[in-house]
Structure 1
């Protein structure tokens, strides 16, 4: 660990030959409140939902937006979470050397909740995304093998998210652009 703790910029410096030993070999890490979080192996449910949700969002996005998966968003010096799915500007995604996005690049972040990340996905990360000004947040939960989507929109006056809908079978929303998803297909 660096003597003053981890920063968002440190993540780009980690390498197999770096000064921080075995930690450098980790592939899936994120920075939350200055702590490096090792992401647990994902379940098949998680993998399917993330992959299919990214594909569906990318297919419905207008030309100025695109969807990506597992790409960091730098929210501050000690905040660099890795959302499961993000909708970002096409201009930002055109930079093939980039290792993260900024809140200004990001219209929507989605977390697919895993048992090992429940508190981070339900509480910590949404709070940080809202404080950074990301307008839309979705949380997807596993309800017996069926995805349930909780859709939130940022209240600009309080910098907190407000629940705008809970979707079990079909999700239809007008923002950040018109989206219609058959949730029952995401985990099949």
Structure 2
């Protein structure tokens, strides 16, 4: 007979009937930072690769420089999509007027101009399928998906097509990304490359 004590069960939050709501992310104790809400379910963050961190930092810096007056850039800040979805893009460009308080934890989707997602193995289906569908549905005009191809960044850029309410591709960019919308920019994507290969 084993005398080893059993480990206590993990203290996971128990969802209410109908699932979690956007406001719950501000109320639930001990949630990991950067927890998202997707379809009323909590999505916990996973450890990020060097590539992911470099790409997020790169776009945060470059978009901050390129953004026109009246726009602000935030990294890993949550967006209210609807009552059951509160997404957190890796980088977002938003209307500056939506930032109203230093204690603010989220912005409405109507204020977002561009959402950038850097794909990780654990987030691939969300970044390629779930998030673009939800972002298009609430009218976010621009969505970029950044993929890691052998340590090099490839950006799939999409723009909302008003007649269909869906995203349409405006280009796949390697090495250099030159666009005029949502504002003029010319980005050297090779700067994201890891110094010692791979992730």
TM over 0.5: yes
| Runs of at least 4 residues off by over 2 Å | none
Looking at structure 2, the residues matched to 25 and 92 of structure 1 have their Cα atoms a distance apart, in angstroms, of: 25
SS in 1 for 2:23: helix
Whether 1:118 aligns to 2:124 is yes
State the Cα deviation string for residues 81-128 of structure 1 (Å, max 9, x = none): 110000011222353221111122110000000000100000000000
Counterpart residue number, 1:10:
24
Question: Which of 166, 172, 185 is matched with 1:179 structurally?
Answer: 185
Q: Which has the higher helix share?
A: 1
- Residue 4 of structure 1 deviates from its aligned partner by 2.9
Counterpart residue number, 1:144:
150
Change (3 A) 1:3 1:85: same
Greater CA radius of gyration, 1 or 2? 2
**Are 2:133 and 2:166, in contact at CA under 8 Å, matched by a contact in 1?**
yes
1:95-114, aligned counterparts within 5 Å? 95-114=101-120
Uncovered stretches (5+) of structure 2, i.e. residues with no partner: 1-14, 195-199
Whether 1:164 aligns to 2:170 is yes
Uncovered stretches (5+) of structure 1, i.e. residues with no partner: 16-23
Q: For this pair of structures, how many residues does the alignment match?
A: 180
Looking at structure 2, the residues matched to 39 and 86 of structure 1 have their Cα atoms a distance apart, in angstroms, of: 18
- Residue 80 of structure 1 deviates from its aligned partner by 0.5
Counterpart residue number, 1:27:
33
TM-score of the aligned structures, taking structure 1 as reference length: 0.92
TM-score of the aligned structures, taking structure 2 as reference length: 0.87
Whether 1:134 aligns to 2:140 is yes
1:13-92, aligned counterparts within 5 Å? 13-15=27-29, 24-92=30-98
